[in-house]
Amino acid sequence: MKENKQSLKIILTEPTTKDNTKSVGCWFIENTLQRAGYNVEYQFFEDGIDFESGDLYLFSVLSVRDYFHIQRIAHKKKDKIWIAGGHVTNNPYILLHWFDLICVGEGEEWILKAMRAFEVKEGKKEPFLKLMSGIEGSLTLENRYKPIKKLFIQDISINNAYLNKSYSNGHSDSWYIETARGCKSKCAYCELGWTTPYRENTEKKVFESIETVKQSDNHNVKVFAPDDFSVTPYERYIERIVEEGLNTKFGSMRLDRIMKVDKKHRKNFMYRLGIDGLSERVRDIVGKRIFDSEIVRIITIMAEEGFVNFKFFFIFSYSFENEYDFYAFETLIHNLRESLAHLKRPIFLRLKFTPFVPQELTPMENFEPYYSQEMKDRIDNWFLSQKMSKRLSGNLVIINDGVMEKKNYYAQAYLHRASFEDVQPQMLNNENQFALIHAPKLLKLPKVTNLVYTHLDKSVRDKFYQKMLNKIKDSNDKEELTDYHSQLKNSLNDLQDNI
């Protein structure tokens, strides 16, 4: 065992392509260790990892697609200790095929406990893992059949601003300042509101971080949270950034909050809005009460104020979705187009469609993965009609930001819910083969109970789930809803005939 922290070499990596690296969460772990006096070396996975000189290897795993990268280097493990953590730990069990120890949840405080245990046991693998198996938030082969609590830290102000060196084309280097974690909302499909409590950073820390950016050579800054506009002092942060002459963008917003803040962003900023259901009916079922009329009204107001770039995110392929929900989507875009017709400048609207993937530890975790090829075809045909129709071109420019294909969907959907026993590492040697052959078969297996638990009791999720089932039944039984959809379909058919 090395005698001091600096002589102990820790190698940290992210098993993904270089353009997806340097995530904020990974940097928080790196910075936590550095501030504690440890010698941490970040290595790019694509450039090759030095598996000889390190004493300890840390892997930050952001996506289930990273599993295919991990499998490629699994044979290089030998006798060194490999530790994993990251966003995928709502279902961490597959990781046990490659890693000795997994941090379930947020790791800033946990990693220091792990380092102390590593030192106490002088780096000896078995004693170290035995000790860690009894520490909250730690998953090992020894304790994998026991309930395990997902960790969260109380105070997120312990982290500093982060200068991200971008390796992705079209993205410039930028500072990141975390303003909140978790989400106040409880949308049934999203793990952010269910698996971790909502916490805001202190205003003192955020303003100190803004000052750090001001004193640096790079004046690009993003204040980020799962839902930017829901952060209580968000407007004050933007005001300070603008006053200091810094450049800022943001990642996401909720429709019900965007009009409550004074938008001081540049007019070419892209406002991103998660709508997440094709119709009001679907959004009501999943707990996201966004009305089409409000979407049209607010986007129109923003466009009239000079904003020209917008992006809508839609989730499709819910099992309770039907053709009438798509007609509702078509009507939404038609009404938005009509509402913007008086403007002289072009308004750019990017649309991205993602099939619903059941997420662990949410009310929808037990919904069966389902990919509606019929709805995918409707979406593709609609984009084609927008492209070909001169009448629809107008000043609203529709841009297709992509739709996930079926084969990729089933691979990701299965890996989100898979058990340790069901997945054999060799299945992941070839991503295309796994998607086409293994995943469709594996999805037919019974879903294994997830033993990870969160700050919310499971009964809360179960209650929400039952409300969803009642809403699905009610919406299918209501005659007036059927009448409305029939009128909607007829009006859209008339519109298409006149094009």
Q: For residue 407, is pLDDT > 80?
A: yes
Does the domain made of 152-256 have the CATH classification 3.30.750? yes
Pair of tokens at residue 84: 């994993």
Helix (H, G, I), strand (E, B) or coil at 329: helix
pLDDT digits (tens, 9 = 90+) for 320-336: 999 999 999 999 999 99
pLDDT at 234: 87
pLDDT band for position 390 (50/70/90)? low
Average pLDDT over residues 464-474: 93
Average pLDDT over residues 119-137: 96
**Which of 26-35, 202-211, 221-230, 377-386 is predicted least confidently?**
221-230
Q: Is the pLDDT of residue 482 over 50?
A: no
| Mean pLDDT score, 393-410 | 88
Q: Is the pLDDT of residue 425 over 50?
A: yes
Torsions phi, psi for 430 (to 5 deg):
-130, 115
pLDDT(497) > 60: no
CB 321 within 8 A of CB 327: no
Q: Is the pLDDT of residue 127 over 90?
A: yes
pLDDT recorded at residue 493: 46
Check: CB of residue 282 under 8 Å from CB of residue 326: no
Residue 492: band (very low, low, confident or very high) from pLDDT cuts 50, 70, 90: very low
- Predicted confidence at residue 498, as pLDDT, reads 45
Predicted pLDDT of residue 265: 57
**Confidence (pLDDT) at 479:** 43
Q: What is the pLDDT of residues 58-71, one digit of tens each?
A: 999 999 999 999 99
How remote is the C-alpha of 9 from its chain's centroid?
31
Per-residue pLDDT at 141 exceeds 70: yes
CATH fold, domain 9-147, is Rossmann fold (3.40.50)
Q: What is the Cα–Cα distance from 212 to 210, expressed in whole angstroms? A: 5
- DSSP code of 201? P
What whole-number percentage of the chain has pLDDT above 90? 72
Query: Tell me, what's the pLDDT at 485?
Result: 42
Q: Which residue has the higher pLDDT, 429 or 264?
A: 429
Domain boundaries, the chain: 9-147, 152-256, 266-404+457-499
pLDDT band at 242 (very low <50, low <70, confident <90, very high): confident
Q: Band of the pLDDT at 487, cuts 50, 70, 90?
A: very low
Please check the confidence at residue 489 and state whether its pLDDT lies above 80. Answer: no
Q: Which residue has the tokens 């000079």?
A: 306
Contacts of 470 (CB under 8 A, 6+ apart): none
Out of 53-62, 416-425, 468-477, least confident range: 468-477
The mean pLDDT value of the chain amounts to 89
pLDDT tens digits along 289-302: 889 999 999 899 88
Assign domain 266-404+457-499 to its CATH architecture.
2-Layer Sandwich (3.30)
Report which of residues 155 and 227 the model is more confident about.
155
Lowest mean pLDDT among 107-121, 238-252, 330-344, 435-449: 238-252
Q: Is the distance from CB of 138 to CB of 104 less than 8 angstroms?
A: yes
pLDDT at residue 394 above 90? no
C-alpha pair distances (Å), 262 with each of 94, 97, 234, 479: 45, 50, 10, 42
pLDDT at 387: 81
Query: Do 9-147 and 152-256 share a fold?
Result: no
DSSP string, 78-113: TTSEEEEESGGGGS-GGGGGT-SEEE-B--HHHHHH
**What is the average per-residue pLDDT within 92-107?**
97
pTM: 0.89
| CB contact at 8 A, 111 and 32 | yes
Instruction: Write out the DSSP string of 198-210.
Output: -EEPPHHHHHHHH
**Rounded percentage of the chain residues whose pLDDT exceeds 70:** 89
pLDDT at residue 486 above 70?
no
**Is the separation of the CB atoms in 336 and 296 below 8 Å?**
yes
Q: What is the DSSP letter of 87?
A: G
- Contact assessment for residue 403 and residue 356, using Cβ atoms and an 8 Å cutoff: no
Per-residue pLDDT at 260 exceeds 80: no
Sequence-distant (6+) residues with CB within 8 A of 330 are 382, 492
Phi, psi of 314 (to 5 degrees): -115, 140
Please determine, for residue 250, whether its predicted confidence score (pLDDT) is greater than 50. Answer: yes
| Local structure of 9: helix, strand or coil | strand
Identify any residues that bridge with 351 across adjacent strands, giving them in sequence order.
Answer: 312, 400
